[in-house]
Amino acid sequence: MASLSTNWITEKHIDFEYKRYVLLGYLKEVSDNFTGSRLYPSLSELITHYRNVVAIRDNKKNLFNSFPERLTGTDTSGTHLTYEKILQDDHLMQEIESIISYAVPLFEQYLKEGKTVYDFIESRLHIFPVGIMPLNADEGYLMLKFGPGQETLVYRFHLTIFENPDEKYRGIATNFVGVWEKSVSNTFENIKLDLIRQFRHMPNPATYVIESELDIPLEETLLPIARRSLVKYVASQLPN
């Protein structure tokens, strides 16, 4: 997959037409990935690039606005004064501004495309707990079943909380455990019992199933969305 450097705006030639060519080539591949339901890492990279460009745009504006002005003239009545910035944009800064003005709406357009795919896939996920849930649901197993087959992928998960002065963020770490075949005689409950027998350090693990009828890429799409969906689901079950 082609990538776009973090410093793509300022590295090599700072020329609008050249940067336009680089950006459109990158976004074409991003769009192809979205069409094939391959969301990651394209979507997360796209979010990062968009935030970086907006930050450059806003910081440039703040920098420009912070410079003092000087008096350049008055009107004939002497009641209106005319000022100009001591710092004026040179050609290089104008090129960067043109690149940013072109890139921001394009990033927004492709982010919308990616979010549409994400929301569609997320809406086709069915999540539910298995068996008796422990008081602490921050650690356990995630069973992932998708497509027409009976294979069920099992991951061990661990939820964490990150805090800043304003709010809390929940994160999740997963490790692949193995593959089980689900059948009429080997239900999700039976798979959970098998996991308890094999891994005795968790006698009653929090266990969830995420099912989807969609046959989509696992690593590039389903697993990242399933992880985020599990975080939201667990958070929704917590007492207010």
Average confidence (pLDDT) over 165-183: 85
pLDDT band at 1 (very low <50, low <70, confident <90, very high): low
Q: What pLDDT digit, counting tens, does each position of 107-118 carry?
A: 999 999 999 999
pTM here is 0.81
Q: What pLDDT digit, counting tens, does each position of 194-211 carry?
A: 999 999 889 999 999 999
CB-based burial of residue 93 (10 Å sphere; 0-12 exposed, 13-18 middle, 19+ buried)? middle
65 pLDDT above the threshold of 70: no
**Beta carbons of 175 and 199 less than 8 angstroms apart:** no
Check residue 66 and give its pLDDT: 46
- CATH architecture of the region 126-237: 3-Layer(aba) Sandwich (3.40)
165 pLDDT above the threshold of 70: no
131 pLDDT above the threshold of 70: yes
C-beta atoms surrounding 236 within 10 Å: 7
SS3 133: coil
CA atoms within a 13 Å half-sphere pointing along the CA-CB vector of 55 = 9
Give residues with Cβ within 8 angstroms of 26, minimum separation 6: 2, 3, 4
Cis amide leading into 239 (omega within 30): no
